[in-house]
Amino acid sequence: MDAPHAHALPSEALPPHAGARPCDALPPGADWTGVSPRLALARRIRLCAAAGLTAAAIGAGLAWATAAGAPSRLWAILVLPVIAVLTGWPIIGRQVRAWGYLEREADLLVRSGVLIQRLVIVPYGRMQMVDVTAGPLERWLGLATVQLHTAAATTDATIPGLPPGQAAGLRDRLAAQGESRSAGM
Amino acid sequence: MAVSAEPTGHDGASAPGPLVPAPAVLRATSPARLSPTSPLVDIAQALPGVLVVVLLLRSELLPRLPLPALGVPALLGIGMTVVALARLLRWWRLRYWFDEEGDLRLDSGVVVREHRRLALSRVQSVDVGQPLLARVIGLADVRIEVAGAGDTRIRLAYLPMSAARDLRAGVLARAAGLPADVGEAPETVLHRVPTGVLITSAVLAAVPLLAGLLIAVGGLIALAVLGNGITLILLFTILGPAIAAGRRVLQWYDFTVAQSPDGLRLRSGLITRSSHTVPPGRVHACAVSEPLLWRARGWRRVTMTVAGQPGGDEQNTPDTLIPVADPELAAALIGRVLPGIDLAGLPWQQAPPRVRWRSPLAARTMACAVTDEGVAVRAGTFTVTTTIAAHARCQSVRITQGPWERSLGLASLAVDLTPGPVSLHTRVAAHLAGPLAETLAAHGRRARAAEGPARWRQPVAGGPLR
């Protein structure tokens, strides 16, 4: 558990009339644990890479097309990947700030999303498996993803962007809780 | 159409008094093989397909091949012999038995040996099926499904009908924690679906599809020049819904629901007979649907989710609790599989009228209800569907809110269930979503703590397990 990365979301993130945004308001005044800001970096790198590749592919296509006699103003299409990066950049920041989890006595709460907000409550007694994964980019940035599985395929409880120590700690606590509370199917 | 009788006790004849048996004797059995005729049944079932292929080859390919006159029958004979030998070997190597711990063991495989062990305390359902051919010669297959991830289903095909019954009784006795030689539990038939009702319901259920198709085809014909093929096109249009209705009748013919201490027995089928046994407490959720044209008669269909392998071949999963029932029967059956849930007396909370701007078709009846035992949601305009799950079987609770919902002051609430035909989600006023989710979580906690033992007839030492 390296505490520096486990920062609570500021309480002013709660909207004025909390009832209208249930995913923010539950439970009132709780101390959510956020994910590492480095997750934003990881996602922005991925966004830029995707945009760059797209731009390169478009560029190659355009070079061939203009050589074949297409009008050169077609190169304006290349502005699209740039727009994607410019709009995606701040959205990623907001998304990463919105991600959080809360360990309660009997269940784990995970919330995420800005435009489409999600909140999932997973009882410890229902967890069948806890996955910790880290791709190459995540490993390089010192991040890991914790994912909870229940017997339902639709349970979507994923917490990305945790420092490996924090992720392992969470996994161990969840596993211990799940074992002591597990119930039959 | 009413539930006729209460179930009698399992050991009502042999041991009077409370239903707690002596400490379970989990007797091991010696390895047994399937019926020696089962390879023949398998081959006979594949025969029509083989014949078609052969005939096709004969007319298309073979005349060009330089083969002697006797070549075709000889090749065919050799092929069949090889297949038959392989089948025979497989039959020889497949053996099953109960071990001392009350689990079912299965040894199989010719080249790659496979040993499987099914934890019978986690049995979800036991089915005995009789495809036409097997039925003619008195054989049956047994499918056993246990809870868990991965390959949790085995099929033993084929056994003589009496052996299949014994196997089912043995599996269920061990799963219940009873002495293995207790024999088959007595059953009480609760309801038989009358054939007339089944046929009428199947036809009525197919009418909207037919109407839709006719409108679509009518549009096509109106667009196109009125040509010769109209009768043919119309024929094909009617054929689809007719086949659908026919399949329903064949599959659910003489649908019988019976209660036994081992759980609910569901039997049905005109050509292929199947018999499902769902042990107590294995049903996670039910869905009651009322198609538009059934409403005048008050009929409804009840499907259910039993934990096990998702997907799979649909005909063999016991996902229909009753294909057509009146309200009282549906409520009575749901009360049996989801104890404590009273379908008629659910405290419905109607969703706010503004829901129609987000889900116009579902909004008219959209509502949710939470009781001490379970949670129910209702939605639909033409077909009204009510979904009910027991709190103890809910896996997780989700709230989502998209921008459109946010501007309407709504939120989506979903309860995650094990994979199956039933899913539970609804829309509620945004300020209620949080409290509702918390209520469901609290109910789930309490219900799980009060869970019974996995072996449902075994005496419990010191209260409920875990």
Give the strands of the sheet with B95-98, arranged side by side.
B95-98, B104-108, B114-118
Q: Are residues A160 and A112 in the same domain?
A: yes
The one-letter code for the residue type at A139 is: R
Q: Using the predicted structure, report yes or no on whether residue A168 has a pLDDT greater than 60.
A: yes
Inform me whether the C-beta atom of residue A29 falls under 8 Å from chain B C-beta atoms.
Answer: no
Tell me if A28 is assigned to some domain: no
Identify whether residues A129 and A77 lie together within a single domain. Answer: no
- The answer to whether residue A71 is domain-embedded is yes
Amino acid found at B12: G
What are the DSSP calls for A47-109, one per residue? HHHHHHHHHHHHHHHHHHHHHTT--GGGGGGGHHHHHHHHHHHHHHHHHHHH-EEEE-SSEEE
Region A2-31 average pLDDT:
51
Output the pLDDT for position B148: 64
Q: Per the domain annotation, does A15 fall within a domain? A: no
What span, in angstroms and rounded, lies between the C-alpha atoms of A85 and B414? Answer: 34
- Most A CBs within 10 A among B122, B398, B439, hence the mutation to make, goes to B398
Of A98, A130, A147, which residue is a domain's last? A98
Residues A44 and A82 in one domain: yes
Domain CATH for A145: 2.30.29
A105 and A184 co-located in one domain: yes
Residues A93 and A130 in one domain: no
Contact (CB, 8 A) for A22 and B431? yes
A23 reaches B (C-beta below 8 A): yes
Examine the domain organization and report whether A49 and A113 are in the same domain.
no
Residue of A nearest to B431 (CA): A19
Closest-CA distance, B136 to chain A, in angstroms, reads: 38
Is A12 domain-assigned?
Answer: no
How far does A142 lie from chain B, in Å, by closest CA?
29
Q: How many domains does chain A have?
A: 2
Domain around A83: 34-98
What is the residue-level pLDDT of chain B in tens, covering all 466 positions? 344 333 333 333 333 334 444 344 567 788 888 888 888 887 787 778 777 777 776 666 656 666 565 666 777 788 888 888 888 888 888 899 888 887 888 888 888 888 888 888 778 778 888 888 888 888 898 888 877 655 667 888 889 988 888 888 888 888 877 766 666 667 788 888 999 999 999 988 888 888 888 887 777 776 666 556 667 777 777 888 888 889 889 989 999 999 888 788 888 888 888 888 888 778 889 999 999 899 999 999 999 988 754 444 444 556 889 999 999 999 999 998 888 899 988 999 999 999 999 999 888 999 999 999 899 999 998 899 999 999 988 999 999 999 999 999 999 999 999 888 889 999 999 988 988 999 999 999 888 887 755 555 554 443 333 2
Contact B398 A151 (CB under 8 A): no
Q: How many CB pairs under 8 A join A and B?
A: 123
Distance in angstroms (rounded) separating the CA atoms of residues B341 and B75: 63
Question: In chain A, which residues have their Cβ closer than 8 Å to the Cβ of B147?
Answer: 151, 184-185
B445:A123 CB<8 A: yes
Q: From residue A142, how far is each of A2, A42, A161 by CA, in Å?
A: 12, 10, 9
* Residue A22 to residue B433, Cβ atoms within 8 A: yes
| Per-residue pLDDT, B339 | 86
The answer to whether the CB atoms of B448 and A119 lie below 8 A apart is no
Q: Is B406–A21 a contact, with Cβ atoms under 8 angstroms apart?
A: yes
Query: How far is CA B92 from each of CA B87, B155, B260, B402, B464, rounded to the nearest angstrom?
Result: 9, 16, 35, 59, 43
Domain end call among A98, A131, A146:
A98
Judgement on whether residues A114 and A161 belong to the same structural domain of the protein: yes
Q: Among A81, A98, A115, identify where a domain stops.
A: A98
* Min distance A42 CA to chain B CA atoms (Å): 25
Q: Confidence band (pLDDT; 50, 70, 90) for A2?
A: very low
pLDDT, residue A142, reads 92
Classify residue A108: in a domain, yes or no.
yes
| Minimum distance, in Å, between the CA of residue A119 and any CA atom of chain B | 5
Contact at CB, B441 and A107, closer than 8 angstroms: yes
- Interchain proximity B430–A183, CB inside 8 Å: no
B398 and A22: CB-CB below 8 Å? no
> Is residue A156 located within the same domain as residue A166?
yes
Q: Does B438 touch chain A (CB under 8 A)?
A: yes
Sequence-distant (6+) residues with CB within 8 A of B133 are B41, B44, B45
Regarding whether A124 and A68 lie in a shared domain, the answer is: no
A7 part of a folded domain: no
Q: Is residue A55 part of a domain?
A: yes
DSSP symbol at B155: E
Distance CA B200, CA B324 (A): 10
Q: What is the ipTM of this complex?
A: 0.81
Cross-chain Cβ contact B397/A121 below 8 Å: yes
A66 shares a domain with A137:
no
What whole-number distance in Å separates Cα of residue B217 and Cα of residue B199?
26
> Nearest residue on chain B to A119, judged by CA atoms?
B399
- CB atoms closer than 10 angstroms to residue A48: 15
Candidates B393, B396, B413, B446, partner chain A, best to mutate (most A CBs within 10 A): B396
State whether residue A90 sits within 8 Å of chain B by CB.
no
- If asked whether residues A94 and A104 sit together in one domain, one would say no
Q: pTM of the predicted model, to two decimals?
A: 0.75
Tell me, yes or no, whether A117 and A153 share the same domain. yes
Give a yes or no: residue A125 inside a domain. yes
Question: Would you call A102 an interface residue with chain B, using a CB distance cutoff of 8 Å?
Answer: no
pLDDT of residue B14: 37
Q: Which two tokens stand for residue B187?
A: 């059953």
